[in-house]
Structure 1
Amino acid sequence: MTMLVRELFNDAPLSPDGLVSLDVQRLLREPIDIARDWHRAERLLQQVAEHLPEQLEVQIALYKMYAYANCFEASRQLIEQVLQRAAQQAGFQPDWRLLTPASTPFDTLLTNGIHGPVRLYLYSMKALGFVSLRAGNIALAEQVLAKLLALDPSDEVGGSVVYQMALSLTDDDS
């Protein structure tokens, strides 16, 4: 399946106003086929990262690409890095296991809509659940997705869909 590099940024756009350099725009318009040549997609995303080294969204696009290419360990490692950096930027504990709705700024931020590093953190929790499911670690998927739903009760990042997938897999095993 061929897509454009920019499609990997649909859930986490590089810039809210869409403004990026012409070099980055050119890279984002490159067609890729992750199933047939994920190495090329990886190289293109690394080139974008060279232009935008501080953008967590580039790391998110990379971990999505790895997940699509069934490189689950590489995806998980990048997800962990995004969780660390997003939590640091937002000013809370990076370990999702230790977070509670009362111990984090999520409750306040949810009333104003999720954006910035908080959204990227929650989105990355969802990604960790999804990648864990794909890698066969259903128990971890259920844990991270249950925590995500507690932190994001209005389901701003859509974690409930992946959580239901995890529960259906558990039900199938029963």
Structure 2
Amino acid sequence: MNLFTGESADEFFGGEMPAAARQALRLAAHAPREEVASLLWTAQAMAPQALGVYYVLYKHHASQRELAEAERAARRGLQEAARQAGLAADWRSVTPATLPAGVDFQGSGPARFWLFTLKALAFLSLRGGHPEEARELLATIAALDPQARIGDEVVASLLASISGGAGV
């Protein structure tokens, strides 16, 4: 998938991206470094329902080591994905027992994006020096996706390495 254009990500993330937002992403892909974030946040403002924009935003900011901005983008994306998937606004209250009927974390769409963004937040929490929140996020992922199909084992390994072997 092309992170900036969102090509092939629309279905995975749960919907079409409006043309104006896609154009802003294309411009960001070729913009000078100091203009990229502005173009990405513009795309988000144009299409707050487009989950792919949040993904590009948090990946961009994380790659620039702008952890607070990456976390802000991820949390906004998490909220939008929760809304679209019919999940509770507070990720801590989403458990197997509270899942609405029909929520599918294995398929493509907003529920999968929500789970994937929990993993991103776990990584950002770990990088930001908040291992306990990372542990909570990973525990939620493990409860909701016991087959670990989103790659959270990488973050769990990192957490275990800084916690002296005490993973999730």
Give the TM-score normalised by structure 2. Answer: 0.78
Letter in 1 for 2:134: A
Deviation at 1:119, TM superposition (A): 0.9
1:24 shift after superposition: 2.9
Residue type at the aligned position of 1:140: E
1:87 touches 1:94 (CA, 8 Å); kept in 2? yes
Native 8 Å contact 1:146 1:163 kept in 2: no
For residue 94 of structure 1, report the CA deviation from its aligned partner.
2.2
Q: Deviations over 1:137-168 (max 9, x none)?
A: 11111111121111111222211221121111
The Cα of 1:58 is off from its aligned counterpart by: 0.3
Structure 2, gaps ≥5 residues long: none
**What's the C-alpha RMSD, in Å, of the aligned pairs?**
3.2
How many Å separate the matches in 2 of 1:26 and 1:95? 30
* Correspondence 1:78 to 2:73: yes
The residue aligned with 1:130 is 123
Distance 2:98 2:21 in 1: 41
Q: CA deviation at 1:44?
A: 2.9
**1:118-157 aligned within 5 A:** 118-157=111-150
TM-score of the pair, normalised by structure 1: 0.75
Residue 18 of structure 1: how far off its partner (Å): 8.7
Query: What CA distance in whole angstroms lies between the structure 2 residues aligned with 1:133 and 1:114?
Result: 27
How far apart, in 2, do the equivalents of 1:138 and 1:124 lie?
17
The aligned counterpart of 1:94 is 89
Give a deviation string over 1:73-99, Cα, whole Å, max 9, x none.
Answer: 122122222222211111121212122
1:116 and 1:32 map into 2 onto residues whose CA distance is: 29
Contact 1:106 1:151 in 2 (8 A): no
Aligned length: 162
Structure 1 residues 22 and 81 mapped into 2: Cα distance closer, same or farther (>3 Å)? closer
